[in-house]
Amino acid sequence: MNPRNHLLLLSAVALLASAASGQQTSVVDTKHNLSTSGPGPYRAVIESRICIFCHTPHRARTNAPLWNREDSRETYAVYTSSTFGGTLGQPNGASKLCLSCHDGSIALGAIVSSETEIEMSPGYSHLNSGSSSIGTMLHDDHPVSFHYASSKGGSGQDYHDESTLNGPVELDANGYVQCTSCHDPHNNQFGSFLEASDRHSGLCLSCHDPSDWPGSSHQSSNATWDGVGTDPWPTANYATVDENACANCHVPHGAGHPQRLLEDAAEEQNCLKCHNGHVANFDIGNEIARISAHVPAATLGVHDPVEDPLSMARHAECQDCHNPHAVLPGSAAAPGVPGPLTGVGGINTSGQVVSRISNGYELCYKCHADNNSGVANIPRFHQQTNVRFEFDPQNPSYHPIEAPGVNQSVPSLKPPYTTQSIIACTDCHQSNNSPDAGGSGPAGPHGSNFSPILIANYRTEEYVEETASAYALCYRCHSRESIKRDESFEEHDKHIRGDDVSCSACHDSHGISSSQGNSTNNSNLINFNVSYVTPNSRGELEFIDEGFRRGRCNLLCHGENHRDYDYQQ
């Protein structure tokens, strides 16, 4: 007998002996025992031999592992993903052997060594139902039969080097990942015939090495499900986020969202099943259901991790703002990057794509700058929807997102703000139930009852009665009393209280691009709301800055014709 075949037979004998000794490494007590003594519903009516369903000492189809089954002749739909770096063809090697049962096309009792098919329990002749039935649609399963080193495993980025794969995951003799890289068909010690425990995703992390994963929130959180609502981990084995690790979001077989093997078809649901207040502290689902929100459900299957922010289709998925492998707790002083935004890409101040933002505003620029839809909330004399242009420090005036503002005399500023302060986009655009708003909800621009995702009310229509709540957004930083005392401009009080003119009538809260405006006409964020500020009787629509707290207006507003209307303090 061939020495290798002899060793295989000895191994089979050892497995049977281990069952008798009570060890947990025997195939006898697993579902792979298809004989009459098998524990599952898939078992023979008469056949008592255990190994015969896969192996035979004589007339084997292959020398190793003395295989006793024909290969399936099915054609498989294989895994595809924009983030997969390898080349996938049809299954081969050990994976082909596994599929001779698990694709459901060949009867379990059809063996090479016998011309007669082994009779199985009625209704269980083929493995074509249940979680073990893989079928021929492998597009929603972890890829197999690919060369590890020539895929991303050879790049060292987010994957361990091939040379380190010395257990528990092993490649086949040709360096390929196969079903047997993760599964040991003879040993069910760890469940699902895994080569090792999947607690803390130890098996996954034998190959995968995602950037920033060690110490990240999803790697370290011991949060548990409180038992309310739907179980967020119906296929996972553990009780905490850190123990389930990859299995919080990913499944190796039968993924609802095939690319990247996400458990749920709707990308956001993979997040919201935990971030609903029943595992994570806050209910993000409630936030994105507010009047104004970033709504992930508005698109399905559009987001792609390798998409180009300069040309991608418009969408707002959780993964656009959050890298689930890298998220951390904690805030950051503007323009820094808060912990929950760690590891995400964006657009920098020069309009270049960056794979990892170093300033918080760069994330907002990914969607609200060069790739903006062109829809403006307020019609302006100088219309601009690219916020990167609006916040450029070279502009005649701008809110200080990238750098301190131009105006060095702003008496209305409330402490701790000064003319040297830098603010974040989220100082204005954030949930009205966030901690910064005095609420108990989560931070960030998920959604708000004030449009467009504003942390507080900001009335922009014509004829607004001035109250603390009408301009609550402005009064977060600017003193209402100072404004009413005309400390910044001699007719603030007359305009906003006497004539019910909204702040938005004159001021463009983001800024005015230097390519459109200038320091004479557009200082102090002056960029008229043309829905009710129109040219005067001479056809003029302008503000003229004449120095410190001095200027003139030519325009028509609320029926009042301004011709060289002079302001000075």
Q: Which 8-state DSSP code applies to residue 398?
A: E
* pLDDT tens track, the chain, 569 positions: 333 333 334 344 444 444 333 445 689 999 999 999 999 999 999 999 999 999 999 999 988 899 999 999 999 999 999 999 888 999 999 999 999 999 999 999 999 999 999 999 999 999 999 989 999 999 999 999 999 999 877 666 899 998 888 889 999 999 999 999 999 999 999 999 999 999 999 999 999 999 899 999 999 999 999 999 999 999 888 999 999 999 999 999 999 999 999 999 999 999 999 999 999 999 999 999 999 999 999 998 899 999 999 999 989 999 999 999 999 999 999 999 999 999 999 999 999 999 999 999 999 999 999 998 777 889 999 999 999 999 999 999 999 999 999 999 999 999 999 999 999 999 999 999 999 999 999 999 999 999 999 999 999 999 999 999 999 999 999 999 999 999 999 999 999 999 999 999 999 999 999 999 999 999 999 999 999 999 999 999 999 999 888 899 999 999 999 999 998 75
3-state secondary structure of 152: helix
Q: Which residues pair with 292 in a beta bridge?
A: 448
The H or E element containing residue 33 is none
Contact 235, 244 (CB under 8 A): no
- Of 493, 485, 511, 504, nearest in space to 423 by CA: 511
Contact 226, 214 (CB under 8 A): no
Q: Are strands 560-568 and 550-557 parallel, antiparallel or unpaired?
A: antiparallel
Name every residue whose Cβ is closer than 8 Å to that of residue 396 and which is 6 or more positions away in sequence: 406, 512, 514, 517, 518, 519, 521, 522, 523
C-alpha 158/C-alpha 156 separation (Å) is 6
pLDDT of residue 117: 97
C-alpha 178/C-alpha 546 separation (Å) is 76
Contact 568, 549 (CB under 8 A): yes
Residue 209 token pair: 């090495």
pLDDT of residue 568: 78
Neighbours of 23 (CB within 10 A): 12
For 144, counting Cβ atoms within 10 Å of its Cβ (0-12 exposed, 13-18 middle, 19+ buried), the class is buried
C-alpha 85/C-alpha 83 separation (Å) is 6
Could you write out the DSSP letters of every residue in 184-222? -TT--TTSTTBSS--GGGTTGGGTB--TT-TTSHHHH--
- Of 492, 496, 494, 472, nearest in space to 483 by CA: 492
Q: Which residues pair with 176 in a beta bridge?
A: 147
Q: In which residue are the tokens 């689930």 written?
A: 324
Q: What is the largest distance, in Å, between two alpha-carbon atoms of the chain?
A: 109
C-alpha 149/C-alpha 40 separation (Å) is 38
- Of 387, 367, 371, 263, nearest in space to 316 by CA: 367
C-alpha 407/C-alpha 420 separation (Å) is 10
Q: Which residues pair with 443 in a beta bridge?
A: none
C-alpha 67/C-alpha 78 separation (Å) is 24
